Amino acid sequence: MQSELSVRAKSLPALLPKWLRDDRKIAILVLAPSIIAVAVFIYIFMGWTLYISFSNWDRPALDLSFAGLKNWQRLVNDPRFHIDLRNLVLFAVGYMSQCIVIGFLLAALLNERIRGEVFFRTVFLMPFAVSAVVSGTAWRWLQVPSAGINLLIANMGFENFRPLWYMHPKLGMLAITIMGAWQFSGFVMALYLAGLRAIPDELREAAVIDGAGTIALYRHVFIPMLRPVTFTAIVLTGAGSIGNFEIPSIIGTGPGFATDTLGFYMFEQTFRSSRYGLGAAVATFMLLLSIPVVLPYLISVLREEKE
């Protein structure tokens, strides 16, 4: 039986031309289409985007003539770009801190042998299963300034506290961070929970025998040991902040672009106003911004896997 199978396995390479009988070459050949697809659709496309950012293409008809730094100058002088940069900082700070603090807190609580852990875990991660478009749609309704959550707040007796949420002309972006964190903090919780579960029990017991209380245990044992998870969470939420697009697309850019993002600005300039050169400059800027966020992380993961 065994020998019969191996004879059949041999017969296929025997039919192939000689240069293809080497399994290593077959392996490379099998991978080749994917390499080409990724090289073209990711890396060449990015280079192409960079090139378009130096072109005169600012109408529907294709125009790749060289324009020098025209688009980049236009970008740097566009007040909307300045607002978007400010919004990015506001969003990143609010979103990253919420995801990491809430994610860590919930993971730490769930790690305490909680009754109903499966229920809580399932609920916390459920928003991650739906599209960001759904998050934007539901929260837009909840954050209507004249009603929504504000009704609940008023019913609790804080009638003078009426935040404008995403309609706030300066801090609207912080309302958007809630919609983002609603989706992603459960993901961060799952990362931390897996990290906590990977810490050996002996370590905890040893620390407790040494007289460490819960807070000391977290400060001196768990949080340092979870540093790689925190690094992952920072990179994922950081990259997510730069690419933020869905929510402004659903709820709009707000008063004075208070809830606009680079991603949405790029989309509008390119596909609504046909300013391809300017859109490409925004896209290139987003890429350049992402590289220092992502690269150190990947290098550290790669180094770890080699060990």
Partner 1 sequence: MSWSRLLAGSTKYAVLIAFAAFYLVPFYVMILTGLKPLEDISSFEIWNMPKSLDFGSFREAWNQMDSNFWNSVRITIPGAIVSTFLGSINGYVFAKWGFRGSNWILFLFVFGMFLPGQGILIPLVWVLQFMGLYGKVNGLIMAYCIFGIPITSLLFYRYYASVPDELVDASKIDGCGFFGIYRRIILPLSGPTFAVVGVWQCTRIWNEYLMALVVLGNPARAPVTVAIKNFSSMGVIPWNLQMAAALIASVPTIAVYLLLGKLFMRGLLEGSLSG
* Nearest approach, Cβ of residue 84 and partner 1 (Å): 12
Report d(CA 291, CA 289) in Å as an integer. 6
Closer to partner 1 by Cβ: residue 140 or 259: 140
Q: Which of 4, 17, 18, 24 forms a contact with partner 1 (CB under 8 A)?
A: 24
| Residue 41 found at the interface with partner 1 (CB under 8 A) | yes
* Nearest approach, Cβ of residue 217 and partner 1 (Å): 14
Q: Nearest-5° angle of CA 118, CA 119, CA 122?
A: 80
Closer to partner 1 by Cβ: residue 204 or 274: 274
Reported as half-sphere exposure (CB side, CA atoms, 13 A), residue 188 has a value of 29
Report residue 30 CA to chain centroid gap: 31
Cβ neighbours, 10 Å, residue 49: 19
Helices (H) and strands (E) in the chain, counts: 16, 0
| Residue 274 found at the interface with partner 1 (CB under 8 A) | no
| Residue 10 found at the interface with partner 1 (CB under 8 A) | yes
Inter-residue contact 225 to 157 (CB < 8 Å): no
Q: Using DSSP, state whether 212 is helix, strand or coil.
A: coil
* Nearest approach, Cβ of residue 54 and partner 1 (Å): 13
* Nearest approach, Cβ of residue 289 and partner 1 (Å): 8
Contact segment (CB under 8 A) with partner 1 among 39-47, 87-95, 169-177, 216-224 equals 39-47
Report d(CA 161, CA 65) in Å as an integer. 55
DSSP letter for 60, please. Answer: S
| Residue 98 found at the interface with partner 1 (CB under 8 A) | no
Contact segment (CB under 8 A) with partner 1 among 73-81, 124-132, 168-176, 202-210 equals 124-132
Inter-residue contact 96 to 184 (CB < 8 Å): no
Site residues (CB under 8 A) for partner 1, limited to 46-65: 46, 48-49, 52, 62
Closer to partner 1 by Cβ: residue 13 or 170: 13
| Residue 217 found at the interface with partner 1 (CB under 8 A) | no
| Residue 182 found at the interface with partner 1 (CB under 8 A) | yes
Contact segment (CB under 8 A) with partner 1 among 160-168, 201-209, 217-225, 240-248 equals 240-248
Q: Which of 110, 167, 173, 176 forms a contact with partner 1 (CB under 8 A)?
A: 110
Q: DSSP letters along 112-167, please?
A: TT-TTHHHHHHHHHGGGGS-HHHHHHHHHHHT-TTSHHHHHHHHTT-TT----GGG
Report d(CA 110, CA 181) in Å as an integer. 19
Nearest to 95 by CA among 231, 190, 230, 233: 233
DSSP letter for 54, please. Answer: T
| Residue 242 found at the interface with partner 1 (CB under 8 A) | yes
* Nearest approach, Cβ of residue 86 and partner 1 (Å): 19
Window 135-154: contact mask with partner 1 (x via CB under 8 A): x-xxxxxx-x-xxx--xx--
| Residue 191 found at the interface with partner 1 (CB under 8 A) | yes
Site residues (CB under 8 A) for partner 1, limited to 152-181: 152
Site residues (CB under 8 A) for partner 1, limited to 63-92: none
| Residue 107 found at the interface with partner 1 (CB under 8 A) | no
Q: Write phi, then psi, for 66 (nearest 5 degrees).
A: -70, 130
